[in-house]
Structure 1
Amino acid sequence: MTTTSSPGTFYGRGFAEFYDRYGTGWTRDFAPLLAQWLSGRPGAEERLVLDLACGTGVSAQILLRAGWDVIGLDISAGMLANAAHRLAQDVETGRVVLQQAEMTTFVLDRQVRACVALEGALNHLLSEEALEQCFARVAAVLPVGGTFVFDLYEPHHFRGWHNIGVTDEPDAVIVKRGVWDEERGIGMLRFSGLFDDGSGPIRVDQTVTSRAYGADVLNALLSKAGLDPEPYPAEVPACACGRSRSGSCRTVYAATKAA
């Protein structure tokens, strides 16, 4: 879930393991609902989906179980290694292909019926130019009528970064320190500590940088790329961070490739 726009978010093995345990709860709840909704879309008999910034393969695994074949793309070798382990059988049978590439420059050798990008992956793109490049690449691999779905964290979520927190468990001690710039809509969150993945302690030392975007900006950039925005009508679970009880934490966007 990374881009050259944010060098500090190239996730290594330690953070990939930590993220897989603590950072994928919302995706585990949302992806089955998303898979069901995608399966009811026109043209869904062509069941190939691009999982953009696929991370450790949690969403890909759920899409596979729902009958979709998956191309999983991420810039992080650590994330992809975790995904390859999780999806080993499906990689062997050819139902999933994992590819290391950036969200703004990736190229596929085939079209896909749908593209998804979950867990605020696109928040890691720190400029409108980078978002525009990403949307153009997505449009290039979708056929007319193909579907793009992604979620983005809202400022209310990022305000929780302006804090210091600790994950203290028998096999993990991680300190989280962050800052959120309300005026610029950009925040940084640093994770540092030790995490035991079962093979022994792993050092976690990772800085994540994200930016919030308004709906007007997103919809304009989608339209410019030839993707028609539309409301996402299906159920959206509450954000796993817990801040959604006091405000909107994330928004799910949908778009269709225009003729």
Structure 2
Amino acid sequence: MIYHDYAPIYHAAGQAAFGTALAQIILAHLPVLPQRTLDLACGTGAAALVLAAAGATVVGVDSSPAMLAIAREQAHQRRLAIEWIEADIRALPDDPRLPPGSFDLCTSLFDSLNHLTDDDDLAKVCRAVGRLLRPGGQFIFDLNTLAGFRTWHEYDQVLFDGRDLLVVNRLHFDEHQQRAYGRFVWFQRRGERWWRGEETHCERPWSDAQIAAALAAGGLRLVMRLTPQWTPATEDAPRVVYISEKYAE
């Protein structure tokens, strides 16, 4: 399982910073604070923590118990009451914390949905989101694009270089298979010794047509395509933030 051994490394390297910053930007551009929010593939809780600190009631869902353990500890330290659910976002459970039609906002940030690689995976998530959002509620997520993946030319990206930790990500994109790979390698000092770890993550690009079809399957419609800086996204943007909403009944 990905994000198991890598979870504490992800946290120590500060990789949640992107999700934190994007959640803050989203809040700044919402006309009103959403009362109930759902954060899918919440990881260590970056967006959930921001939303809860702003006063929203938040539920975070992730399939990695190691990532959720860190999220729980972060919420505890900040004295934030967030509900955490361990589940696959493609098959959300029948849970009293997930009442249908009760959420004003759903987020899934930091290219989480790129990790869905089967053709029907995105539609499964959108159907679940459509069931849980109230009419007019928004689903906001970001994705690495095909244009962005095409820049992954077998190079090493240094994610963190500290006294006791070095994290490198080797990027590769297989154009024929339409699969992108991040091979995370880390070296961590424990006492007098350095320990090595490795984890490979696979992502796929989703076209605008595929995204629109998946959203439609959940009774959602695309409203805007933006950059993470909240400007209109061009066709060759490496990452796009998609703003969608549930059709009013």
Quickly name the TM-score band, shorter chain normalised.
Answer: 0.7 to 0.9
Cα offset, 1:201, TM superposition: 6.5
Cα offset, 1:225, TM superposition: 1.7
Cα deviation 1:137-157 (Å, max 9, x = unaligned): 111111111111000011233
- Report the counterpart of residue 255 of structure 1 in structure 2: 244
Q: 1:27 aligns with which of 10, 19, 31?
A: 19
SS at match of 2:52: helix
- Report the counterpart of residue 163 of structure 1 in structure 2: 154
- Report the counterpart of residue 178 of structure 2 in structure 1: 185
- Report the counterpart of residue 4 of structure 2 in structure 1: 12
Question: In the alignment, is the contact (CA less than 8 A) between 2:40 and 2:62 conserved in 1?
Answer: yes
Structure 1: state its 5+ residue gaps: 1-6, 239-243
Q: C-alpha distance in 2, partners of 1:166/1:145?
A: 40
Question: In the alignment, is the contact (CA less than 8 A) between 2:127 and 2:218 conserved in 1?
Answer: yes
Cα deviation 1:42-91 (Å, max 9, x = unaligned): xx5x611001000111111111122111101000111101101100156x
Cα offset, 1:220, TM superposition: 1.7
Q: C-alpha distance in 1, partners of 2:88/2:243?
A: 21
- Report the counterpart of residue 80 of structure 1 in structure 2: 68
**Which fold has the larger relative contact order, with Cα–Cα distance below 8 Å and residues 6 or more apart in sequence?**
1
Does residue 1:147 correspond to 2:135, yes or no? no
Q: 1:217 aligns with which of 206, 210, 213?
A: 210
Cα offset, 1:128, TM superposition: 2.6
Identity rate, percent: 28
Amino acid in structure 1 at the alignment position of 2:28 = Q
Q: CA 1:136/1:82 → structure 2, altered by over 3 Å: closer, same or farther?
A: same
RMSD: 2.6
Q: 1:101 aligns with which of 84, 87, 112?
A: 87
Cα deviation 1:210-236 (Å, max 9, x = unaligned): 000111110122112211211157x73
- Report the counterpart of residue 4 of structure 1 in structure 2: none
Question: In the alignment, is the contact (CA less than 8 A) between 2:225 and 2:240 conserved in 1?
Answer: no
Q: CA 1:89/1:120 → structure 2, altered by over 3 Å: closer, same or farther?
A: same
- Report the counterpart of residue 132 of structure 1 in structure 2: 123
Cα offset, 1:34, TM superposition: 0.6
Q: CA 1:89/1:24 → structure 2, altered by over 3 Å: closer, same or farther?
A: closer
SS at match of 2:136: coil
Q: CA 1:166/1:187 → structure 2, altered by over 3 Å: closer, same or farther?
A: closer
Cα offset, 1:193, TM superposition: 2.5
Q: CA 1:166/1:227 → structure 2, altered by over 3 Å: closer, same or farther?
A: closer
Amino acid in structure 1 at the alignment position of 2:217 = K
Amino acid in structure 2 at the alignment position of 1:194 = F
Question: In the alignment, is the contact (CA less than 8 A) between 1:162 and 1:177 conserved in 2?
Answer: no
Structure 2: state its 5+ residue gaps: none
- Report the counterpart of residue 114 of structure 1 in structure 2: 105
Q: How many aligned positions are there?
A: 235
Q: C-alpha distance in 2, partners of 1:169/1:132?
A: 40
Larger helix percent: 1
- Report the counterpart of residue 67 of structure 1 in structure 2: 55
SS at match of 2:55: coil
Q: CA 1:254/1:166 → structure 2, altered by over 3 Å: closer, same or farther?
A: closer
